[in-house]
Amino acid sequence: MTLRNYLLAAAVPALLTLTPASAFAQCGKASWYALTSKTASGERMNPSAMTAAHKKLPFGSKIRVTNQNNGRSVVVRINDRGPFIKGRVLDLSKGAAGKLGFISNGHTKICFERIA
């Protein structure tokens, strides 16, 4: 094995574990909403779907959201813009809020990471 091949063999597994440039993570407050109007992406809001609104993430992005108060997680798809209330980083559908266990509170502390 040449030195070049040896270095490549060692480098490839390390490269595969690097976080992609498009990775995104954020923590903050999240709330939920259950409208049936059209979202900013043009699709009709489905309150029971696993969707969310974020100010900047591209439509169609999938994120894993974790409720910091109880550890529950859910994967949602970004299909709307928001939230428009200071201090909040994410608006979740009622269905996603139910899986995360914070419907009765109205909002909760969350962290999320982009997975696709």
Report pLDDT digits (tens) over 58-94: 999 999 999 999 999 999 999 999 999 999 999 999 9
Strand partners, 75: 64
Q: How confident is the model at residue 17 (pLDDT cuts 50, 70, 90)?
A: very low
Walk me through the domains of the chain, giving residue ranges and CATH numbers: 24-114 (2.40.40.10)
Which of 110, 42, 106 lies closest to 76, judged by CA? 110
**Hey, what amino acid is at 30?**
A
* Percentage of residues in the chain having pLDDT higher than 70: 80
Q: What is the mean pLDDT of residues 28-41?
A: 94
Residue 22's pLDDT is: 53
Q: How confident is the model at residue 2 (pLDDT cuts 50, 70, 90)?
A: low
Report d(CA 114, CA 21) in Å as an integer.
Answer: 11
Q: Who wins on pLDDT, 28 or 8?
A: 28
Q: How confident is the model at residue 24 (pLDDT cuts 50, 70, 90)?
A: confident
Contact (CB, 8 A) for 113 and 52: no
